[in-house]
Amino acid sequence: MRSHVMTKGNERAPHRSLLKAMGYTDEEIARPLIGVVNSANEIIPGHIHLDLITEDVKAGIRMAGGTPVVFPAIGVCDGLAMGHAGMKYSLASRELIADSTEVMVMAHPFDGLVMIPNCDKIVPGLLMAAMRVNIPTIFVSGGPMLAGKRPDGTPADLISVFEGVGALKAGKISPEELKIMEDYACPGCGSCSGMFTANSMNCLTEALGLALPGNGTIPAVFAERRRLAKKTGMAVMELVSKQICPRDIATFDAFCNALAVDMALGCSTNTVLHIPAIAHEAGITLELDLFNEISSQTPNLCHLSPAGSHHIEDLYQAGGIQAVIKTIAPLGVIRQDVITITGKTVRDNIASAQVWNTEVIRPVDRAYNQQGGIAILHGNLAPDGAVVKQSAVAESMLVNKGAARVFDGEEAAIEAILGGRIQAGDIVVIRYEGPKGGPGMREMLSPTSAIAGMGLDTSVALLTDGRFSGGTRGAAIGHISPEAAEGGPIALVREGDLITIDIPKKSLTLNVSDEELKKRREELAVFEPAVKTGYLARYAKLVTSASTGAIFKE
The residue among 247, 246, 272, 261 whose CA lies nearest residue 334 is 261
The answer to whether the CB of 66 falls within 8 A of the CB of 3 is no
d(CA 223, CA 214): 12
- Within 352-477, where are the H helices? 410-418, 445-453
What is the distance between the terminal CA atoms of the chain, rounded to a whole angstrom?
31
Q: Where are the beta strands (DSSP E) in 255-380?
A: 375-379
The answer to whether the CB of 479 falls within 8 A of the CB of 456 is no
- Name the active-site residue from 191, 193, 391, 469: 469
Strand partners, 509: 500
The answer to whether the CB of 341 falls within 8 A of the CB of 277 is no
- Cβ-defined contacts of 78-86 (< 8 Å, 24+): 78/119, 78/120, 78/121, 78/197, 78/443, 78/469, 79/158, 79/192, 80/43, 80/44, 82/162, 82/443, 82/445, 82/446, 82/469, 83/410, 83/414, 83/445, 83/446
Q: Which amino acid is at 336?
A: Q
Catalytic, 469? Answer yes
d(CA 544, CA 482): 10
Catalytic residues: 469
